[in-house]
Structure 1
Amino acid sequence: MGTLSKRKGVRDGGERDVEAVLDELYTTPPADFVARREELAAAAKAAGHADDARRIHASRRPTLAAWAANLLLRSQPKESQQFLELGQALREAYRTLDATGITELSEQRRRIVAALSRQTAQLAREAGHRLSDPVQQDVESTLRAVLTDPDAADRWAGGRLEGALTPPSDFPGTAPPTGAPQKPRRETAPEPSARTQAKARTRAKDDLAERRHQREERLDHARGAAEEAAHRLRAAGTEQADAEAAWQGARDRHAQAQQQMSAAEQQLQQAREELQRADREQQEAEERSHAAADAHARAQHEAREAEQEVKRLTAHSR
């Protein structure tokens, strides 16, 4: 109970298993859910899996908060498994803790839920969806339900929530407060002897001491689990912040490279236009050069003919 399910991703022959298909579908943003569902159902039907196609087609689009919770489960499987285990430990601890211990664990639980809720919002932003305050509250409600309700934990561990979960108003399994009034019982047996009463008191003290010892052990275990979970969440948050900063830097460098590429492309276009103009000017110059050479050749020919005519006329005049 309360553990992440492990499913096959392919069928025999390489076809995708319907469970893996549904897992993918429920991490699809709600705006794209219906189109993706119909696409996957059609693919299953075309592959000859009519039952799978019906299952896929029967899937209901999740709310934005439910989608974000599914995304957290699939994107952070290790942290999600630890969160589920923490919820199981906390529920066990709550069964035997006194009011002081419950108050302390409740505060730790609120801190862990708030940290994981922020991580969920960050994952949603990276997927292109910013969560509004009401949606963020639904995410926190779901996470609180996972910690306090084993049925809610199992539903979230399935990774296919359709709506936000609501935690129970009373924490399940909480023992009644010590010293609560008991219903009077009718005495039917004779009054025990002083020795018997003394043994009973000693046994009751031993039992009380043992219960207190067990409560302290559970409280220490729950505190340790909560602190470890909080530490892991802080570490994950730091790692996520570093990754986001690196992503932002890479995006800035990408934008700068795009600008440089655009400038280079513009310069290349200008150079091409310059080359085309130079080619045209060179061609025109070659044509003018050829025309000038032809004119020069004709002039030379005409000059020789004129010279020969002069010589001929001079010879006749003698």
Structure 2
Amino acid sequence: MDFDTVADELYALPPAEFTAARDTAAGLARKQGDRELAARVRKLRRPTGGAWLANLLVRSHPEEIGPLLELGRALRAAQSDHAGARLRELSSRRHHLVTALTARARRTATEAGHSPGEPALRELEQTLRSVLADGDAAESFAAGHLATALDATAPLPEPVPALEPTPAPAVPEPEPAAATEPRRTAPRAAQAAVRTAEREAAQAADALELRTAEHRSAAARVRRSARRLADAEQAHREAERAEAECATALAAAERRAAQTRAEADRLRRRT
């Protein structure tokens, strides 16, 4: 029995069956003398409806998970490179894939005798969007051990136009001989200037959105790393306690053995 095998088996179960199976597995590990494994198993949390759907999708349709992970990598690379045209191309596939995978998970759960509600389906969609937006989220999703929906604080990359300054369009010089030409040219020049200002404002807004997405993605990674560190520290403390308990038990056993040997020696001397 090892932790990954136990986790695989537990997170393949429907949420209603999870807690009893987890406690049974932890008890078995403890009976076998593996206190560290028992403690780790006991800490596993029952999955929410959306997390269970995500785990079900990973296990039941691995061939459809690969394209999702590949699309996420491509979107993040295009975002990092500020490749606006590439982002627009990939974004056209994004909504379709999330919708298709959500529908696939609903059908698979229904075929297994479970009817997922709208909250669980929304959790699944949030998780799939997080997978596309963040590499750490994608790794957690692919393991198939989710207990909660993934944090979607990192927005999905959006198509960003190239941030090149747009030159103002040339304004035609009025013809001196035409008295009405200046009056016609002035409105056209003003309209062109407005369009240029609007384009530049849109580019600035897209650039701000990109930087905000990068910041939120980094913050989400920091939070996940902090949680993993806290879990590792807790596991280390539990291992130390288990080691101390084993050392105490060993010392007691050695004392009993010494006492038994001494008693046996006394009995031999009497005879």
Give the TM-score of the pair, scaled to structure 1.
0.47
**Identity across matched positions, percent:** 42
1:126 pairs with 2:126: no
Deviations, residues 222-242 of structure 1 (Å, cap 9, x unaligned): xxxxxxxxxxxxxxxxxxxxx
Deviations, residues 258-314 of structure 1 (Å, cap 9, x unaligned): xxxxxxxxxxxxxxxxxxxxxxxxxxxxxxxxxxxxxxxxxxxxxxxxxxxxxxxxx
Contact 2:55 2:141 in 1 (8 A): yes
The aligned amino acid for 2:19 is V
* Offset at residue 100 of structure 1 (A): 4.8
Equivalent residue, structure 2, for 1:83: 68
Give 3-state SS (helix, strand or coil) of 2:75's partner.
Answer: helix
Contact 1:41 1:53 in 2 (8 A): yes
Equivalent residue, structure 1, for 2:41: 56
Deviations, residues 137-170 of structure 1 (Å, cap 9, x unaligned): 1111111110111121111122211111243454
* Offset at residue 29 of structure 1 (A): 1.0
Equivalent residue, structure 2, for 1:115: 100
* Offset at residue 56 of structure 1 (A): 0.7
The aligned amino acid for 1:49 is D
Contact 1:141 1:165 in 2 (8 A): yes
Please point out which of 10, 14, 18 is paired with 2:3: 18
* Offset at residue 176 of structure 1 (A): 7.8
Equivalent residue, structure 2, for 1:27: 12
Cα distance in 2 for residues equivalent to 1:140 and 1:171: 12
Give 3-state SS (helix, strand or coil) of 1:19's partner.
Answer: helix
Contact 2:49 2:120 in 1 (8 A): yes
Please point out which of 54, 74, 84 is paired with 1:69: 54
1:138 pairs with 2:123: yes
The aligned amino acid for 1:159 is G
* Offset at residue 79 of structure 1 (A): 2.5
Cα distance in 1 for residues equivalent to 2:86 and 2:70: 19
CA 1:110–1:175: 2 relative to 1, 3 Å? closer
The aligned amino acid for 1:52 is L
Give 3-state SS (helix, strand or coil) of 2:13's partner.
Answer: coil
Equivalent residue, structure 2, for 1:154: 139
Please point out which of 146, 152, 155 is paired with 1:167: 152
Contact 1:95 1:173 in 2 (8 A): no
Q: How many residues align?
A: 166
Structure 2 gap segments, 5+ residues each: 167-271
Cα distance in 2 for residues equivalent to 1:107 and 1:175: 14
Contact 1:27 1:71 in 2 (8 A): yes
CA RMSD across the alignment: 2.4
Give 3-state SS (helix, strand or coil) of 1:142's partner.
Answer: helix
Equivalent residue, structure 2, for 1:40: 25
Give the TM-score of the pair, scaled to structure 2.
0.55
Give 3-state SS (helix, strand or coil) of 2:113's partner.
Answer: coil
**Bigger Rg, which one:** 1
* Aligned residue runs from structure 1 range 119-268, under 5 A: 119-171=104-156, 177-179=162-164
